[in-house]
Structure 1
Amino acid sequence: MNTDQAKQAIRQRVWDVLEREQAAPPGVHGRIPAFVGAEAAADRLAGLPAWHAARTLKAVPDKAQLPVRAQALAEGKLVYMAVPKLAEALPFYLLDPETLSVPPSEAASSRVAATIARKIGVDEMRPVDLIICGSVAVNRQGVRLGKGAGYSDIEVALLQEAGLIGPNTTIMTTVHSLQVVDEELPEAKHDFSVDLIVTPDEVIECGPPRRPAGLYWDSLSREKIEAIPLLAARS
């Protein structure tokens, strides 16, 4: 079994458990789980020192992290949210709480953001204090598995290349406790680790950070490159 197959087997097991235990809605397979308790996890995250210190966030557009995005905007934090699948030439939505035309709870939705937010490129972004990512599975050493599409890895690599991630940038994920696994998880060279895991019940501090130096083009398929305008323009 190669690394990709091993990752997928773990994802499948976690998706099955979440559905069986009714910790996520039916149809969760293939997705970042919109887990039960996402609001409680966001509340717990919002009490952490790294959260209070952060002024600028980069967040995924997944529904599971919607409460985190809404909390950030409500507190006056600037949020960069990735365009789903990075499918635009300008791959991030700029959500500035000072200029929102709708309440933060609405603006935080990827569907609403698509209609109200200006799209920007990496060259317009400020340095990022905090990165919020989604996960299917994660262990206590900070190794995470996304849904397998690789978009979060590409986003972090782009920020790294642009010098927007520094030694004080914290990467967090919010998950259900059933998504925290007590086993080694396979890693590839383009994977990043998380510094903190926040569930509805606990905060887990992980090991030393692991960050990609930038994009590893040899790990990207031609189909993936052509599907992401920013990468297609650089290839």
Structure 2
Amino acid sequence: DRVEAARLKGRLRTWDSIAVPRWAGVPEAQCVQLGYFCLQLSVMQASPAEPFGSREADTTDTRPFRQLNSLALPGDDGVPSWNNLLADLRVLIETTRPEVIVLPHPLLDPHPDHLCAQQAVLEALQGLAWQPQTLLGYANHLHDNDRWPMGDTGTGVALPPVTEGEETWLPYSLSLDARHQCDKAMALGMMHDLQPSPPFKRRLRRLLQRLLAGRRGSPFGENEFFRKAVRRHELLWVVKRK
């Protein structure tokens, strides 16, 4: 049943967003799941007052995915609209008063939900009394090259290829020792999205790459995120600094 499978995926993602941060010592009360639906943020943004439900789970109610939240939010009426998303973000920012916000970088990460999420945060910040000192950008996916960063688990992260544009790029790097790399790998392994085995075609391609190009997989798992994300440093980009 595709509908039930989609709802289960949503419940698991909700659980992961609350449970996995505990591995890093983040209390449950400091984790919030908003529950807006995949690949719907762009249409929400285009029609801010209208609700847009899940394309797969046959629901227009975000409340089942907020049940573990300890903080009351404007969007707790369950309406998946852009206006509710902005209101939620404003309350979260004003309540937590973050010095740093980390969000997808709009010039590196092409995923439509990631782009809209970044734009939603910037829009929510407009007019707020509290403003973060720093905005940092990251790339979960890269335009035209989903193998970036190249290289093996535990190695460094090269700068991404940028072939156009006049924007000044200011990197921000954090070092991770072997213990923290292992902790990050374990956290990734707890995420249900990364647990299924890759499809046969992808496994065959990796076998050929290993035989012909000497590429190695990650010792932590088959999913590409174990290779790409478990590195000796984190690479982010300064989007804004006061």
TMscore range, shorter length: 0.3 to 0.5
Larger radius of gyration: 2
More helix by share: 2
The structure with the largest strand share of the pair is 1
Structure-1-length-normalised TM-score: 0.33
